Amino acid sequence: MGWDLCRSSRSSHPGRSGRWLGLAAVGLGLVVSAAAAPAARAEGVLERVARSGQLRLIGPVDHPPLLSLDAQGRPQGYGALVAERITAMVGQALGKPVRLVYEPVSDSASLSQRLGEGKADLACTLPFTWARDEVVDFTMPLGVSGLRLLAPAGRFDGSPAGLAGRRIAVVKDSLAETQLRG
Protein backbone atom coordinates (compact mmCIF):
# COMPACT_ATOMS: atom_id res chain seq x y z
CA MET A 1 0.00 0.00 0.00
CA GLY A 2 1.37 3.45 -0.77
CA TRP A 3 1.10 6.19 1.81
CA ASP A 4 0.18 9.47 0.21
CA LEU A 5 1.93 11.88 2.51
CA CYS A 6 2.18 15.42 1.34
CA ARG A 7 0.50 17.42 -1.37
CA SER A 8 0.50 21.05 -2.37
CA SER A 9 -2.33 23.12 -3.71
CA ARG A 10 -2.08 23.95 -7.40
CA SER A 11 -0.57 27.26 -8.28
CA SER A 12 -2.16 29.78 -10.57
CA HIS A 13 1.30 29.76 -12.15
CA PRO A 14 2.08 26.03 -12.44
CA GLY A 15 5.24 26.76 -14.35
CA ARG A 16 6.71 28.46 -11.27
CA SER A 17 5.30 27.42 -7.89
CA GLY A 18 3.86 24.06 -8.86
CA ARG A 19 7.10 23.04 -10.57
CA TRP A 20 9.25 24.04 -7.57
CA LEU A 21 7.13 22.15 -5.03
CA GLY A 22 6.91 19.19 -7.38
CA LEU A 23 10.68 19.12 -7.81
CA ALA A 24 11.18 19.46 -4.07
CA ALA A 25 8.79 16.58 -3.49
CA VAL A 26 10.29 14.30 -6.08
CA GLY A 27 13.74 15.13 -4.73
CA LEU A 28 12.65 13.97 -1.29
CA GLY A 29 10.78 10.96 -2.67
CA LEU A 30 7.45 12.31 -1.41
CA VAL A 31 3.93 12.17 -2.58
CA VAL A 32 3.22 15.80 -3.40
CA SER A 33 0.20 16.95 -5.29
CA ALA A 34 -1.35 20.01 -6.78
CA ALA A 35 -5.05 20.67 -6.22
CA ALA A 36 -7.80 22.97 -7.44
CA ALA A 37 -8.34 24.57 -10.79
CA PRO A 38 -5.97 27.46 -11.48
CA ALA A 39 -8.92 29.85 -11.74
CA ALA A 40 -9.90 29.02 -8.16
CA ARG A 41 -6.92 30.95 -6.84
CA ALA A 42 -5.48 34.27 -7.88
CA GLU A 43 -2.24 33.57 -6.04
CA GLY A 44 0.05 30.54 -6.31
CA VAL A 45 1.51 28.63 -3.38
CA LEU A 46 4.97 30.18 -3.55
CA GLU A 47 3.58 33.66 -4.04
CA ARG A 48 1.35 33.26 -0.98
CA VAL A 49 4.16 31.70 1.09
CA ALA A 50 6.52 34.51 0.06
CA ARG A 51 3.93 37.06 1.17
CA SER A 52 2.90 35.37 4.44
CA GLY A 53 6.09 33.57 5.45
CA GLN A 54 4.00 30.47 6.23
CA LEU A 55 3.51 27.08 4.59
CA ARG A 56 0.19 25.60 5.74
CA LEU A 57 0.16 21.85 6.45
CA ILE A 58 -3.09 19.99 7.11
CA GLY A 59 -3.53 16.39 8.15
CA PRO A 60 -4.96 14.00 10.71
CA VAL A 61 -3.75 13.84 14.30
CA ASP A 62 -3.85 10.06 14.66
CA HIS A 63 -1.89 8.39 11.85
CA PRO A 64 1.40 7.32 13.48
CA PRO A 65 4.08 6.81 12.33
CA LEU A 66 3.12 9.15 9.48
CA LEU A 67 1.50 12.02 11.34
CA SER A 68 0.31 12.53 14.90
CA LEU A 69 0.57 15.13 17.66
CA ASP A 70 3.13 15.13 20.46
CA ALA A 71 2.31 16.05 24.09
CA GLN A 72 2.61 19.76 23.23
CA GLY A 73 0.22 19.47 20.28
CA ARG A 74 2.93 19.76 17.62
CA PRO A 75 2.91 17.50 14.55
CA GLN A 76 5.32 14.60 14.64
CA GLY A 77 6.09 11.61 12.48
CA TYR A 78 7.45 10.90 9.05
CA GLY A 79 4.99 13.21 7.28
CA ALA A 80 5.85 16.09 9.63
CA LEU A 81 9.58 15.58 8.99
CA VAL A 82 9.01 15.60 5.25
CA ALA A 83 6.87 18.75 5.49
CA GLU A 84 9.66 20.41 7.51
CA ARG A 85 12.15 19.54 4.76
CA ILE A 86 9.85 20.98 2.10
CA THR A 87 9.40 24.11 4.21
CA ALA A 88 13.18 24.53 4.51
CA MET A 89 13.63 24.03 0.76
CA VAL A 90 10.87 26.53 -0.04
CA GLY A 91 12.43 29.05 2.35
CA GLN A 92 15.80 28.54 0.69
CA ALA A 93 14.26 29.02 -2.77
CA LEU A 94 12.52 32.20 -1.62
CA GLY A 95 15.60 33.48 0.19
CA LYS A 96 13.67 34.10 3.41
CA PRO A 97 12.54 32.15 6.47
CA VAL A 98 9.32 30.18 6.10
CA ARG A 99 7.41 28.77 9.05
CA LEU A 100 5.44 25.52 8.88
CA VAL A 101 1.92 25.95 10.32
CA TYR A 102 -0.06 22.78 11.10
CA GLU A 103 -3.85 22.49 11.21
CA PRO A 104 -5.46 19.18 12.18
CA VAL A 105 -8.17 17.90 9.82
CA SER A 106 -10.36 14.93 10.67
CA ASP A 107 -11.10 13.27 7.32
CA SER A 108 -9.86 12.86 3.74
CA ALA A 109 -12.80 14.79 2.28
CA SER A 110 -11.84 17.83 4.36
CA LEU A 111 -8.21 17.48 3.25
CA SER A 112 -9.25 17.49 -0.40
CA GLN A 113 -11.71 20.35 0.09
CA ARG A 114 -9.25 22.59 1.94
CA LEU A 115 -6.58 22.00 -0.70
CA GLY A 116 -9.06 22.70 -3.47
CA GLU A 117 -10.17 25.94 -1.84
CA GLY A 118 -6.57 27.09 -1.38
CA LYS A 119 -6.91 27.01 2.42
CA ALA A 120 -3.87 24.73 2.74
CA ASP A 121 -0.59 24.28 0.91
CA LEU A 122 0.35 20.72 1.90
CA ALA A 123 -1.80 17.80 3.02
CA CYS A 124 -0.50 14.67 4.69
CA THR A 125 -2.04 11.18 4.44
CA LEU A 126 -4.50 12.02 1.68
CA PRO A 127 -5.13 8.65 0.02
CA PHE A 128 -5.22 8.25 -3.74
CA THR A 129 -8.57 7.84 -5.45
CA TRP A 130 -9.39 8.20 -9.13
CA ALA A 131 -11.84 11.00 -8.28
CA ARG A 132 -9.12 12.94 -6.42
CA ASP A 133 -6.75 12.32 -9.30
CA GLU A 134 -9.04 14.53 -11.38
CA VAL A 135 -8.05 17.56 -9.26
CA VAL A 136 -4.86 16.44 -7.48
CA ASP A 137 -1.61 15.51 -9.18
CA PHE A 138 -0.02 12.60 -7.33
CA THR A 139 3.70 11.91 -7.54
CA MET A 140 5.55 8.75 -6.58
CA PRO A 141 4.36 7.33 -3.24
CA LEU A 142 6.48 7.62 -0.12
CA GLY A 143 6.85 4.71 2.25
CA VAL A 144 5.55 1.95 0.01
CA SER A 145 5.06 -0.95 2.40
CA GLY A 146 4.05 -3.69 0.01
CA LEU A 147 1.05 -4.57 2.19
CA ARG A 148 -1.76 -6.16 0.24
CA LEU A 149 -4.92 -7.94 1.27
CA LEU A 150 -6.48 -10.57 -0.93
CA ALA A 151 -9.93 -11.99 -0.26
CA PRO A 152 -12.56 -13.81 -2.29
CA ALA A 153 -15.03 -11.48 -4.00
CA GLY A 154 -17.81 -10.34 -1.69
CA ARG A 155 -16.16 -11.60 1.52
CA PHE A 156 -14.43 -8.38 2.62
CA ASP A 157 -15.62 -4.78 2.42
CA GLY A 158 -12.12 -3.24 2.57
CA SER A 159 -12.53 -1.68 6.02
CA PRO A 160 -10.48 -2.49 9.14
CA ALA A 161 -13.74 -3.44 10.87
CA GLY A 162 -14.26 -6.05 8.16
CA LEU A 163 -11.22 -7.91 9.52
CA ALA A 164 -12.57 -8.19 13.08
CA GLY A 165 -12.55 -11.80 14.25
CA ARG A 166 -10.92 -13.07 11.03
CA ARG A 167 -7.60 -14.82 10.57
CA ILE A 168 -5.18 -13.37 8.09
CA ALA A 169 -1.75 -14.54 6.98
CA VAL A 170 1.32 -12.28 6.95
CA VAL A 171 5.03 -12.73 6.35
CA LYS A 172 6.86 -13.43 9.63
CA ASP A 173 8.76 -10.42 11.08
CA SER A 174 7.38 -8.15 8.35
CA LEU A 175 5.98 -4.64 8.64
CA ALA A 176 2.53 -6.19 8.24
CA GLU A 177 3.01 -8.48 11.25
CA THR A 178 4.47 -5.68 13.37
CA GLN A 179 1.64 -3.27 12.59
CA LEU A 180 -1.17 -5.80 12.88
CA ARG A 181 0.05 -7.21 16.19
CA GLY A 182 0.64 -3.71 17.58
54 versus 79: the higher-pLDDT residue is 54
Rounded to the nearest integer, the mean pLDDT of the chain is 74
Is it the case that residue 167 has pLDDT exceeding 70? Answer: yes
46 versus 13: the higher-pLDDT residue is 46
pLDDT at position 136 is 66
CATH for the stretch 14-133: 3.40.190.10
pLDDT at position 137 is 61
Is it the case that residue 91 has pLDDT exceeding 80? Answer: yes
Domain spans, the chain: 14-133, 147-182
Instruction: Name the CA dihedral angle for 46, 47, 50, 52, rounded to a multiple of 10 degrees.
Output: -110
Cα–Cα distance between 140 and 153 in angstroms, integer? 29
- Mean pLDDT of the 84-112 span: 92
39 versus 92: the higher-pLDDT residue is 92
For the whole model, what pTM was predicted?
A: 0.60
pLDDT at position 21 is 45
Cα–Cα distance between 122 and 33 in angstroms, integer? 8
Cα–Cα distance between 91 and 103 in angstroms, integer? 20
Is it the case that residue 15 has pLDDT exceeding 80? Answer: no
CA distances (Å), 99 to each of 54, 81, 128, 146, in order? Answer: 5, 13, 27, 34
